[in-house]
C-alpha cells in the first residue's frame, strides 16, 4: 500500500460533516482522542497527504470506509489478498424468509460464520463483525429493530467499527415512511436496495458484492455500487415532514381520515393528533414570551415530541428561528467531559442555523481553557450566535434524560440553562432565547435548587387520554364506538396514546376486531407483541430494573421502590408513580410481565 493518502477533493465536505455526527465537535478533540498531532487531522480534513496508518485510523473513528474517500489514482486500491473469515449476523424480520436463508447458505459456503436471528441479543451483537440488516417496509416500523440498531450503534462507538452495519432495503419504493429515529440512527450509513425478483448470486454468490466487501475487510457498502440508494429515495417526501416544521395544519380535523401507522412524532398536518386542553394553548402563549422556558415531562410514547413539534411551529409562525437537539441520538463520545459536551452543543446548534464556523468554534474553545466551558458557551451565544440572528431563537432540548447519566456534565449543563433563563430577566440580548426542555423521568440526580432549570418556567406533564378523547380518536378513524367499547380498550391499555392509536389503526384497517385484540393482546401473536418484546429486551439489560418490575406486577397493591428504579420504570412507561409508590401502567403490562418475568 502507499505510504501516504489524501482525501479526494469531492469527498472533503462529506468527511468534514461526519466529524460532528461522530461526536467530535472540533479537530482538537479528534486529535486528542486518536493521540495524533492536530496538524495531521487538519491535513486529513483538507485533502492533504497523511500517513497511511493515520489515514485509515481517522476514517475508522469517523465511520468512513477509507477506500471510498481516498485519492488512489496511480496507486494500488486494495491490500494484498487475505483469507478473511468474518462473523456475520443477519437481522431477519423481513417477509422474505428465503432471502435470509439463501444469504446464510452463500456466506457460509465461503467459510464465514453466519447466524440468522429474528431477535438479536447484546451477546449476538458483541460477537459479530457484520450486522446484515434486512429492512422491509413492515420490519422498518418495528420497535425491537429500532432498539437493536441503537445497541449496535452504541457498540460501534466503543469498538473499532464493530459491528459494521450493512442495511439492505427490500422491494422499494415503500408507501410507509421510515421512522425519524431509525432514519437518524442509520444516517451516514450507506444502504443498498434489493428486490425479491433479483438473482441472489449477484448479491452473495461466488463473485457477489457482499463477499467482495468482506474479503476486502470493508466496513460499509460502497456508495457507487449498482445496488446503492439514498435514504431520501427510500423515505419519500411524506417522511420529510419532520424536516419542514412549517407544514400547515390550520384546517379542522375531518370526521374520519385514512389511518396512519402510529410511530414517533404525529405529523403537524395529521388529523390524529388529539389536543389535551389546556396544555397546548398554555404552551403556545408561553413560547412567544421573551426568555420563555417550558418543561415537558412524560414517559416514552406519550406524545412529548408531537407536542414539541407544535410548539416549535407556533414559534415559527411568530417569527422565531427554531432548532431542536435530541440528546438520545448524540454519540456517546460527547459525554466524555463538559468541554466536549458543550462544544458539541454549540456546534450542533450552529450547524442547524447555518452558522457553523470553525474559526469561531476554535476561538471559544481556547476561551474555555481560561474561563471554563460554561462561561465560554455563554459567551458564544451572547457574542456570536444571538447578535447575528435576525429573530429570536427557540431552542428545543429533547430527551435530556440522557444527560442525567453523566452527573458532572448534568450539573454544569443544567446550571448553565438556569443561568441563561435568569439572564433574560435583566439583559435584552437573552430575551431572544426561548427554551423548551423535554424529559421522560423525574430528575433523580442532585441539583442545587438555585441552579436547576427544573423548578422554573412553565411545567407541563402529559396525561393519558380520557374516555372522551379515546372516543374522539376512534371517530377520526371512522369507528363508531360507544362508551363501552372505549372503556374496553382503556381497561387494557389505559389512555396510553401510542397503544390506543395502534389498536385503532389495526381495527380501522379491519385487521382484527376489538374483542380479538383484547383477547390476544398479551400474547406473542397479539398486536402489541413487538412493543412488549422491546420492553422486555430493555429490562433484560438492567437486572435491578427487571427485578423491580417483577415486584410491581406481582404485588397486590402499590409498591415502594428505590427512587432511581422507580424513576427508570416510569420513564420507560411501564409504571405509574403515585407519590413514591408504583403500580403497573396498564393491565396489558401486568399480564405480559407476570408471565415473562417468571412470576407465579
pLDDT of residue 435: 98
Please choose, from the candidates 229, 265, 238, 266, the residue with its C-alpha nearest in 3D space to the C-alpha of residue 135.
229
Cis peptide before 173 (omega within 30 of 0): yes
Give the whole-angstrom CA distance, residue 245 versus residue 201: 44
Residue 160, C-beta contacts closer than 8 angstroms, at least 6 positions apart: 60
Residue 7 bridge partners (DSSP): 70
State the Cα–Cα distance between residues 320 and 287, nearest whole angstrom.
Answer: 10
What is the C-alpha to C-alpha distance for residues 130 and 220, in angstroms, rounded to an integer?
Answer: 9
For the four alpha carbons of 453, 454, 456 and 457, in that order, the dihedral sign comes to positive
pLDDT of residue 283: 98
Domains 4-69 and 279-461 share a fold: no
| The pairing of beta strand 581-584 with beta strand 575-578 | antiparallel
What CA–CA distances, in Å, run from 31 to 39, 334, 369, 472, 520?
A: 9, 14, 17, 56, 55
pLDDT string in tens for the chain (600-residue length): 578 999 999 999 999 989 998 889 999 999 998 999 999 999 999 999 999 999 999 998 898 889 889 998 866 544 544 567 899 999 877 667 678 888 899 899 989 999 987 777 778 888 899 999 999 988 888 899 999 999 998 888 776 667 999 999 998 888 877 887 888 889 888 999 988 888 888 888 666 688 888 888 888 888 888 899 988 888 554 443 333 433 333 333 334 446 777 877 898 989 999 999 999 999 999 999 999 999 999 998 999 999 999 999 999 999 999 999 999 888 888 999 999 999 999 999 999 999 999 899 999 999 999 999 999 999 999 999 999 999 999 999 999 999 998 999 999 999 999 999 999 999 999 999 999 999 987 776 677 888 899 999 999 999 999 999 999 999 999 999 999 999 999 999 999 999 999 999 999 999 999 999 999 999 999 999 999 999 999 999 899 999 999 999 999 999 999 988 998 999 899 999 988 799 999 999 999 999 999 765
Tell me what pLDDT residue 254 has. Answer: 36
533-541 long-range contacts (CB < 8 A, ≥24 apart) are 533/119, 533/143, 533/144, 534/143, 534/144, 534/146, 534/147, 535/572, 535/574, 535/589, 535/593, 536/592, 536/593, 536/596, 537/119, 537/144, 537/147, 538/147, 538/572, 539/597, 541/122
Specify whether the CB–CB gap between 182 and 140 falls below 8 A: yes
Dihedral sign computed on CA atoms, order 393, 394, 399, 401: positive
279-461, what's its fold?
Answer: Rossmann fold (3.40.50)
Question: Which grid coordinates are listed for 129?
Answer: 463483525
Q: How far is residue 69's CA from residue 175's CA, in Å, rounded to a whole number?
A: 33
Q: How far apart are CA 54 and CA 519, in angstroms?
A: 60
| Residue 5 near residue 313, CB atoms below 8 Å | no
Domain ranges of the chain: 4-69, 87-235, 279-461, 530-596
CATH no. of 530-596:
1.10.10
**Dihedral over alpha carbons 223, 226, 231, 234 (to 10 degrees):** 180
Q: Which CATH class is domain 4-69?
A: mainly alpha
Comparing CA positions, the residue from 240, 23, 561 lying closest to residue 575 is 561
- Give the three-class secondary structure for 13: helix
CB of 134 closer than 8 Å to CB of 93: yes
- H/E element holding 88? strand 87-92
What integer pLDDT is reported at residue 138 of this predicted model?
85
> Per-residue b/e over 367-397, b at no fewer than 16 CB within 10 Å?
bbeeeebbebbbebbbebbbeebeebbbbbb
Give the closest residue to 528 by CA, choosing from 585, 588, 569: 588
- In 277-370, the DSSP E strands lie at 293-297, 321-326
DSSP H helices in 464-542: 467-476, 483-493, 497-508, 514-520, 529-541
Architecture of domain 87-235: 3-Layer(aba) Sandwich (3.40)
Distance CA 44, CA 18 (A): 13
Q: What is the pLDDT of residue 253?
A: 35
Dist CA 27 CA 425 (whole Å): 36
**What is the per-residue burial (b if ≥16 Cβ within 10 Å, else e) of 41-65?**
bbbbbebeebeeebbbbbbebbbbb
**Which pTM was predicted?**
0.86
375 Cβ neighbours under 8 A, 6+ residues apart: 367, 368
Distance of CA 44 to the CA centre of its chain: 29
Amino acid at each position: 500500500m502507499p505510504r501516504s493518502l489524501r482525501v479526494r477533493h469531492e469527498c472533503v465536505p462529506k468527511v468534514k460533516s461526519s466529524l460532528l455526527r461522530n461526536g467530535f465537535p472540533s479537530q482538537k478533540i479528534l486529535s486528542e482522542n486518536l493521540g495524533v498531532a492536530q496538524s495531521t487531522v487538519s491535513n486529513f480534513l483538507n485533502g492533504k497527504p497523511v500517513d497511511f496508518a493515520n489515514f485509515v485510523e481517522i476514517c475508522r473513528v469517523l465511520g468512513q470506509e477509507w477506500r471510498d474517500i481516498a485519492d488512489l489514482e496511480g496507486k494500488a486500491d486494495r491490500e494484498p489478498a487475505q483469507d478473511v473469515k468474518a462473523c456475520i449476523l443477519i437481522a431477519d424480520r423481513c417477509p422474505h424468509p428465503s432471502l435470509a436463508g439463501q444469504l446464510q447458505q452463500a456466506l457460509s459456503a465461503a467459510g464465514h460464520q453466519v447466524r440468522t436471528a429474528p431477535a438479536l441479543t447484546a451477546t449476538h451483537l458483541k460477537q459479530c463483525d457484520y450486522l446484515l440488516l434486512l429492512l422491509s417496509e413492515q420490519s422498518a416500523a418495528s420497535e425491537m429493530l429500532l432498539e437493536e440498531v441503537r445497541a449496535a450503534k452504541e457498540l460501534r462507538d466503543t469498538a473499532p467499527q464493530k459491528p459494521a452495519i450493512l442495511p439492505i432495503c427490500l422491494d422499494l419504493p415503500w408507501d410507509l415512511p421510515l421512522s425519524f429515529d431509525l432514519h437518524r440512527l442509520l444516517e451516514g450509513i450507506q444502504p443498498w436496495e434489493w428486490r425479491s425478483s433479483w438473482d441472489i448470486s449477484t448479491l452473495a454468490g461466488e463473485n457477489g458484492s457482499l463477499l467482495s466487501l468482506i474479503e476486502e475487510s470493508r466496513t460499509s457498502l460502497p456508495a457507487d455500487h449498482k445496488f446503492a440508494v439514498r435514504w431520501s429515495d427510500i423515505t419519500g417526501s411524506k417522511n420529510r415532514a419532520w424536516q419542514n416544521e412549517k407544514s400547515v395544519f390550520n384546517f379542522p380535523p375531518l370526521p374520519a381520515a385514512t389511518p396512519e401507522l402510529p410511530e414517533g412524532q404525529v405529523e403537524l398536518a395529521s388529523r390524529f393528533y388529539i389536543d389535551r386542553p389546556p396544555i397546548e394553548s398554555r404552551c403556545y402563549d408561553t413560547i412567544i414570551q421573551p426568555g420563555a422556558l417550558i418543561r415537558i415531562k412524560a414517559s416514552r410514547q406519550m406524545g412529548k415530541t408531537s407536542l414539541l413539534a407544535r410548539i416549535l411551529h407556533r414559534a415559527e409562525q411568530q417569527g422565531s428561528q427554531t432548532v431542536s437537539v435530541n440528546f438520545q441520538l448524540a454519540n456517546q463520545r460527547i459525554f466524555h467531559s463538559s468541554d466536549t459536551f458543550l462544544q458539541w452543543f454549540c456546534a450542533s446548534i450552529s450547524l442547524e442555523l447555518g452558522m457553523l464556523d470553525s474559526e469561531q468554534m476554535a476561538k471559544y474553545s481556547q476561551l474555555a481553557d481560561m474561563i471554563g466551558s460554561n462561561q465560554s458557551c455563554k459567551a458564544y451565544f451572547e457574542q456570536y450566535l444571538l447578535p447575528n440572528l435576525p429573530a429570536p431563537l427557540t431552542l428545543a432540548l429533547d430527551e435530556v434524560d440522557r444527560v442525567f447519566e453523566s452527573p458532572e456534565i448534568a450539573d454544569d449543563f443544567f446550571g448553565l440553562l438556569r443561568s441563561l433563563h435568569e439572564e433574560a430577566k435583566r439583559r435584552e440580548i437573552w430575551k431572544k432565547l426561548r427554551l423548551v426542555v423535554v424529559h421522560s423521568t423525574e430528575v433523580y440526580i442532585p441539583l442545587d435548587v438555585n441552579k436547576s432549570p427544573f423548578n422554573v418556567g412553565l411545567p407541563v406533564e402529559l396525561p393519558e387520554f380520557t374516555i372522551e378523547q379515546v372516543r374522539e380518536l376512534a371517530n377520526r378513524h371512522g369507528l363508531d364506538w360507544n362508551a363501552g367499547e372505549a372503556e374496553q380498550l382503556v381497561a387494557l391499555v389505559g389512555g396510553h396514546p401510542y397503544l390506543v392509536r395502534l389498536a385503532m389503526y389495526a381495527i380501522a384497517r379491519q385487521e382484527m376486531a376489538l374483542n380479538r385484540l383484547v383477547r390476544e393482546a398479551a400474547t406473542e401473536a397479539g398486536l402489541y407483541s413487538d412493543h412488549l418484546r422491546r420492553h422486555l429486551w430493555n429490562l433484560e439489560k438492567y437486572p435491578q430494573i427487571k427485578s423491580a418490575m417483577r415486584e410491581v406486577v406481582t404485588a397486590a397493591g402499590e409498591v415502594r421502590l428505590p427512587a432511581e428504579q422507580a424513576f427508570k420504570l416510569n420513564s420507560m412507561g411501564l409504571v405509574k408513580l403515585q407519590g413514591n409508590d408504583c403500580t403497573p401502567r396498564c393491565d396489558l403490562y401486568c399480564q405480559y410481565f407476570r408471565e415473562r418475568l417468571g412470576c407465579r
